[in-house]
Structure 1
Amino acid sequence: MAPIPTPPAEPQDSPDGYVGLDAEQAERRARERGWSTVRALPPGAIITMEYRVGRLNFEVRDGRVVRAWKG
């Protein structure tokens, strides 16, 4: 029987620590900390809501992160 796949680990990192950072700086920091996907979105963007392990989402206004969340 094949082994049960193990989902990839998510970095032990709080999204709240990215709020207020410059968007480029926040993306660099997130990748350094192990996030496999970093997505920057404008306020009010229409997005799919599926949860993706290892993805960090940023809402960016005027070049700054105003909201950050996993998935």
Structure 2
Amino acid sequence: MKRLGIFALITVAILMVGYAQAQEKRDFFKVGVVTSLSGELAFGGTVTKRGYDMWEDAVNAAGGIDIAGKKYKV
């Protein structure tokens, strides 16, 4: 049982190191929104999408989102 625990710990550590190295550097901030763009709720979803598009334009015009002293575009 002790060997299994050590093996699991080493496996998790290796996976975490691999994941940390696989992250790419980005100069933008991605925002996801779930909304209906088709079907019965398409009108409300389209209005919501337009609102987020306007927010994106306003944030980017102001220089982006400030995270830890660095500006990121949306």
TM-score range, shorter chain: under 0.3
Please state which structure has a larger fraction of its residues in helix: 2
TM-score in terms of structure 1 length? 0.23
TM-score in terms of structure 2 length? 0.23
Please state which structure has a larger fraction of its residues in strand: 1
Larger radius of gyration: 2
Higher relative contact order (CA 8 A, sep 6+): 1
